[in-house]
Structure 1
Amino acid sequence: MVKRVGQKKRGNPSRKTKKIILMGTEGSNQTERKYFSMFNKLQNEYRILFSKGNNTDPVGVVNDLLKGAKKEELDLKHGDALACFIDVDFKSGREKELREAIKLAKKKNVDLYLSNPCFEIWYLLHFRYSTKSYCSNDEVIKELSAYIQDYSKSKDVFGLIIGNLETAMKNTKKLEDYHFENGTLDAIKKIPSTEVYKIVDKIIQNSSD
């Protein structure tokens, strides 16, 4: 019999056990962690946790997440999930690393969400729709700073953007349609793009304020 994750950690056994989404991010990056941790205050279906590890290469991030899943005794067959966030970025040799990570994630039932070139595309889509082909992460952050003053990757922006979530979902899906209509189906080649909306949609579909 598979042990249900958290039975010994979640306290009162009479209370309905929450499903866990264990998330993995690159290195010491706080951007995704600060954003997604806030959903714990808004919803009751999932409990969002984060794996430990300082890997910055995509395969390493996936492996750190798998180690965390084992430690937390996740039960993927009964609603727990693994979510990994990777920036496509502009680093040399990045495409090969990404394809290896995608292959590993698929094999290990990890949901891998790419942002191209970086996670801040998701934030930017809360304010505007654009198909601009960015040349650097800094270029994205510079544009985002026009909407979020003094933006930095460690800044907690959840409260500043949550009111625009519906706009972000519409803009992101519109961007997906744009790439599809132009024949760009490979997530690594879609710029700009982000798959973050998929996990956000999963969370909010099972939430209550």
Structure 2
Amino acid sequence: MTTAKVLAVIQQSSANACLSTPSFEAWLIMHHEDCLRPFQSADEAKRKLKTIVPSWSEGGTRFSDFSHGVRDAMRRARKIDSFGESVLKNPSSNVWRLVDLLIATAED
């Protein structure tokens, strides 16, 4: 299913979704560095992440490799999101919204 179709289904329901373009790896990259250059594919984003975290593998993502950069990732993703509301931007991620909600809930 294309991202546009996913967005249409979400908008017609009461669900919320966290999306990252071109893939979740863009969100993970934001834990370590600014991520503004578009990726040609999800595979390119994965290769970039592997250069940043050499021990990273798609099936073996460890929170400890990213935990120190959660707030940095939120700041970076929020900055990209502030350029407009489209989650179709490449790269982009609105996972920061979920993390922000989880942090706020934990602090209450």
TM-score range, shorter chain: 0.7 to 0.9
Cα shift readout 1:14-48 (whole Å, capped 9, x = no counterpart): xxxxxxxxxxxxxxxxxxxxxxxxxxxxxxxxxxx
Q: How big is the shift at 1:121?
A: 0.6
| 2:47 alignment partner, SS class | helix
Instruction: Mark the runs of 5 or more structure 2 residues left unpaired by the alignment.
Output: none
Which is bigger in relative contact order (C-alpha 8 A, separation at least 6)? Answer: 2
Runs of 4+ residues over 4 Å off in structure 1: none
1:195 aligns with: 94
Kindly indicate which of the two structures has a greater share of residues assigned to helix. 2
Question: If the length of structure 2 is used for normalisation, what is the TM-score?
Answer: 0.86
2:53 aligned to which of 125, 135, 148? 148
2:42 aligns with: 137
Corresponding letter in the other structure for 1:166: R
RMSD: 1.7
Corresponding letter in the other structure for 2:34: Y
| 2:36 alignment partner, SS class | coil
CA distance in 1, matches of 2:59, 2:21: 19
Instruction: Mark the runs of 5 or more structure 1 residues left unpaired by the alignment.
Output: 1-56, 58-93
Question: If the length of structure 1 is used for normalisation, what is the TM-score?
Answer: 0.47
Task: Please tell me whether residue 99 in structure 1 is matched to residue 7 in structure 2.
Answer: no
1:165 aligns with: 70
CA distance in 1, matches of 2:6, 2:74: 26
Kindly indicate which of the two structures has a greater share of residues assigned to strand. 1
CA distance in 2, matches of 1:138, 1:150: 16
Which entry has the higher C-alpha Rg, 1 or 2? Answer: 1
